Structure 1
Amino acid sequence: MGRLFGTDGVRGVANADLTAELALGLSVAAAHVLAEAGTFEGHRPTAVVGRDPRASGEFLEAAVVAGLASAGVDVLRVGVLPTPAVAHLTGVLGADLGVMLSASHNAMPDNGIKFFARGGHKLADDLEDRIESVYEEHRTGAPWARPTGAGVGRVRDYDEGFETYVSHLLTVLPNRLDGLKVVLDEAHGAASHVSPEAFTRAGAQVVTIGAEPDGLNINDGCGSTHLGLLRAAVVEHGADLGIAHDGDADRCLAVDAAGNEVDGDQILAVLALAMREAGTLRGDTVVATVMSNLGFKLAMEREGLNLVQTAVGDRYVLESMKEHGYALGGEQSGHVIVLDHATTGDGTLTGLMLAARIAATGKSLAELVGVMERLPQILINVPDVDKSRVKTSGDLAAAVTAAETELGATGRVLLRPSGTEPLVRVMVEAADIEQARAVAQRLADVVKSALG
């Protein structure tokens, strides 16, 4: 069996790859690993379980709840809420673990299971490996040891989760949003009610699109992966900005008043300067991934801020932040982590803080993001190659060296093997887009010939 956990939980086509049986078994295994690790006499372990609105989340939630309760874990079922809300509730309620059912920005047929450890933190690789090991051991060998009688877990709905999370968002907001007009694209996802409520209570005039989930329309032509509707709505309504979330609302992308996209790098740049001004940017440092635009790096250097770069994936950003005590990090894709107020990327919190900066400064979003120039970036996926040889091919190393020499200080090359597919991603940045395109295509051809 290949590793079940990917970069963000266990994900696949619901009822094909991700079955009720798998969800139940993984939940029992997670209970054994995460709940028993902190148990003591007289303590009944507790789990918080939430989901996004996907139709498949209904049966998967039932399987997860059944698995946890059968392992002796009391379950607080919070219903449809964003991933960061489940993480937050896991922490503030003192739960032993949290479970979120969502495939994030993926299309509706997919679903996923994300586990949170005590405190609402994503799992380290070793914990995921232990859960897989326990699951596989009992799938192929001895049956689970199950409690009976009063030892089984109890299940109840925790309806206070919505209010607890929204109140938290408003408490940490640095200033109100009075006078701002904001369009919110909720991707027909988990934040369809939370985000409009939070922005409205914060004082903004809110227009919502993509906020009518029916279980089948999540991420369908809307949200952070399809910004066309948001661009049009912002211009049509004369809004100050637009905010787009993905299906589980751990991402935030934005659109300025003219309909121009604002990505995660630009949002990070705006928030970094705001937090430095407020004295909350510890170490004057921002954490980002190697995929961040070179323009972001140059902007941080110009502003006298430090940049730490990690492997691709918000979990690696978070690991670096926690290890060194940094307060702000994120990805170009819109995962932004403000560690003083969230244990994971939080799209609603990010959008609120971005809007708060506009309200506090009186500047437009376009003016604020002018702190960085986004350099042209070309990405080419080269399929059907031996990705394991990326670091050992002499021909490829020579081609990369030549490309880097040609681009100089205002360009960058990155070759990254895919984590899930037999392909290599070739990314080239340059001040001139035609140069970036030409260099990227040349490197892609070398990847194909050298590793094909």
Structure 2
Amino acid sequence: MSERHLFGTDGVRGTANTWPMTADMALRIGAAAGRFFRGDGANGHRVVIGKDTRLSGYMFENALTAGLTSTGMNVLLLGPVPTPAVGLLTTSMRADLGIMISASHNPHADNGIKFFGPDGFKLSDAAEAEIETLVSGELAPVAAGEIGRATRVDDGRFRYAERVKATFPQGMRLDGLKVVVDCANGAAYRVAPEVLWELGAEVIAVGVRPNGLNINDKVGSTHCETAQEAVVAHGADVGICLDGDADRVILIDETGAVADGDQIMALFAGRWAEQQRLRDGVLVATVMSNLGLERYLGGLGLRLERTKVGDRYVVEAMRRGGWNLGGEQSGHIVMTDFATTGDGLLAGLQFLAAMIETGLPASALSRRFERVPQLLRNVRFGLGQDPLSEASVQAAITAAEGMMGARGRVLIRKSGTEPLIRVMAECEDEGLLAEVVDGIVAEVESVTAAA
């Protein structure tokens, strides 16, 4: 397999109009993906493209369309839809490829390109490496008579809405529930409030006025304060915070307290196990999930299967093991009984169903375990630097692991989307926790400054 430089943990991502997120590169990526998926050269192959609400989305949508149609792919443009809608519609519309233009929870200046295969699942590392090889090569266009067409699809949002509502227990309604939904001024700004209202909820919607520049700006799953204030001010039963492309969710209980993906997964795993729905008693999560979640599952006789960071790797492990529930602490909740990728709205609906079925408030359902204190710090590094290869940094990590022993764990990794070293540790002794993290951070900062 070729080494990947263009693709990160979730497609290609960066600042718009800066490599690799330029119009020229998007055109080449589109042409390369078209070549890869068109395969036998027969005309009529289809690709669906969705996007979030970033201003740069127009530019990348047009550039990708140009590249794809130049290879004979027919493009179906969905407009602003959640990422899970692209996974769904890739299969339901019999497309060979799905593309989502989004940088998820990042600020508006960033953007990204994510790929879904014809089965609705994100592409493997191997497939992305092959596309990357094509990007750097000669992209010969098809003959003039074989150029693809581009068509706007007006009902993509509605198709997705009906599919999500169909996952809600039959005959159940949200009547009497007051729900705050924060759409991050992103891709779900219309569909999420519509779905909740159509199921009977009283909806207080925030983050539903996108202008191309305000996606994730003090709203959404990474900035829950707006939703917390709205829940308390309106006396709401629960708050659902989505990110810019609505593939992750953070919940707010009726007191304004936050529940992250680990708490949501703990609830779902426990309930699914009771209902004999959790395959093999396994929940799949990443190395970032809290140690408290692992201990909680162990107490229920369940097992936590850990993967490297990235919801794509969670899904790959789920598919290999035949497991049906997984996700990330950041709020990606993957339920392969219903969807091929994380879906914040779907997960929110499953939580609301649990509230109705149990008669319990959100606070009683969203606090499944006591978190082990976790400290995460990020250190930025420069172009061409590789701090983790430095002997002094490795020595600092080894020393930290020795100090921690069996009392906790240390996790050091490169971000897959930004030039950052993420330094994380968990331990009940918060003094030791700070000492361990500070020591590694100091050494990383020292080698990056000296370079």
TM-score by length of 2: 0.92
Secondary structure (helix, strand or coil) at the match of 1:357 reads: helix
Aligned CA RMSD, in angstroms, stands at 2.2
Match of 1:372 among 364, 369, 372: 369
**What's the CA shift string for 1:116-159, capped at 9, x where partnerless?**
11121111111111111111112xxxx5131322x221221111
Q: Say if 1:28 and 1:443 are closer, same or farther in 2 by CA, change over 3 A.
A: closer
Q: Take 2:14 and 2:95, find their aligned partners in 1: how far apart are those partners?
A: 27
Amino acid at match of 2:285: A
Which residue is equivalent to 2:410?
413
Gaps of 5+ in 1: none
CA shift at 1:422, angstroms?
6.2
**Counterpart check, 1:8 vs 2:5:** no
Gaps of 5+ in 2: none
**What's the CA shift string for 1:209-260, capped at 9, x where partnerless?**
0101111211111111111111100000111110111111111011111111
CA shift at 1:354, angstroms?
1.2
**Counterpart check, 1:74 vs 2:74:** yes
Amino acid at match of 1:404: G
Which residue is equivalent to 2:160?
165
More divergent stretch after superposition (175-184 vs 17-26): 175-184
Q: Say if 1:62 and 1:403 are closer, same or farther in 2 by CA, change over 3 A.
A: same
Q: Take 1:449 and 1:65, find their aligned partners in 2: how far apart are those partners?
A: 45
User: What is the number of residues matched between the two proteins?
Assistant: 440
Q: Say if 1:390 and 1:7 are closer, same or farther in 2 by CA, change over 3 A.
A: farther
Contact 1:94 1:119 in 2 (8 A): no
CA shift at 1:391, angstroms?
11
Amino acid at match of 1:353: Q
Contact 1:387 1:422 in 2 (8 A): no
Q: Take 1:167 and 1:395, find their aligned partners in 2: how far apart are those partners?
A: 53
Which residue is equivalent to 2:31?
28
Which residue is equivalent to 1:397?
398
Q: Take 1:79 and 1:450, find their aligned partners in 2: how far apart are those partners?
A: 45
Q: Take 1:390 and 1:160, find their aligned partners in 2: how far apart are those partners?
A: 56
Amino acid at match of 2:49: V
Secondary structure (helix, strand or coil) at the match of 1:224 reads: coil
**What's the CA shift string for 1:174-214, capped at 9, x where partnerless?**
24323221100100000001111111122221110010111
Which residue is equivalent to 1:343?
340
CA shift at 1:381, angstroms?
3.0
Q: Say if 1:135 and 1:183 are closer, same or farther in 2 by CA, change over 3 A.
A: same
Secondary structure (helix, strand or coil) at the match of 2:412 reads: strand
**Counterpart check, 1:147 vs 2:148:** no
Q: Take 1:432 and 1:395, find their aligned partners in 2: how far apart are those partners?
A: 19
**Counterpart check, 1:62 vs 2:70:** no
Q: Take 1:289 and 1:50, find their aligned partners in 2: how far apart are those partners?
A: 27
More divergent stretch after superposition (314-323 vs 10-19): 10-19
Amino acid at match of 1:60: F
Amino acid at match of 1:147: A
CA shift at 1:112, angstroms?
1.1
CA shift at 1:284, angstroms?
1.2
CA shift at 1:416, angstroms?
2.4
Q: Say if 1:30 and 1:289 are closer, same or farther in 2 by CA, change over 3 A.
A: same
Q: Take 1:118 and 1:106, find their aligned partners in 2: how far apart are those partners?
A: 27
**What's the CA shift string for 1:354-389, capped at 9, x where partnerless?**
111111111112111232111211113345572124
CA shift at 1:277, angstroms?
3.0
Q: Take 2:232 and 2:48, find their aligned partners in 1: how far apart are those partners?
A: 40
Which residue is equivalent to 1:258?
255
CA shift at 1:283, angstroms?
0.9
Amino acid at match of 1:218: I
Which residue is equivalent to 1:318?
315
Q: Take 1:336 and 1:393, find their aligned partners in 2: how far apart are those partners?
A: 33
Secondary structure (helix, strand or coil) at the match of 2:245 reads: coil
Q: Say if 1:219 and 1:447 are closer, same or farther in 2 by CA, change over 3 A.
A: closer
Secondary structure (helix, strand or coil) at the match of 2:255 reads: coil
Secondary structure (helix, strand or coil) at the match of 2:91 reads: helix
CA shift at 1:448, angstroms?
5.8
Pairing of 1:347-362 with structure 2 (within 5 A): 347-362=344-359
Q: Say if 1:391 and 1:367 are closer, same or farther in 2 by CA, change over 3 A.
A: farther
Q: Take 2:209 and 2:416, find their aligned partners in 1: how far apart are those partners?
A: 34
Secondary structure (helix, strand or coil) at the match of 1:122 reads: coil
Contact 1:390 1:417 in 2 (8 A): no
Contact 1:376 1:429 in 2 (8 A): yes
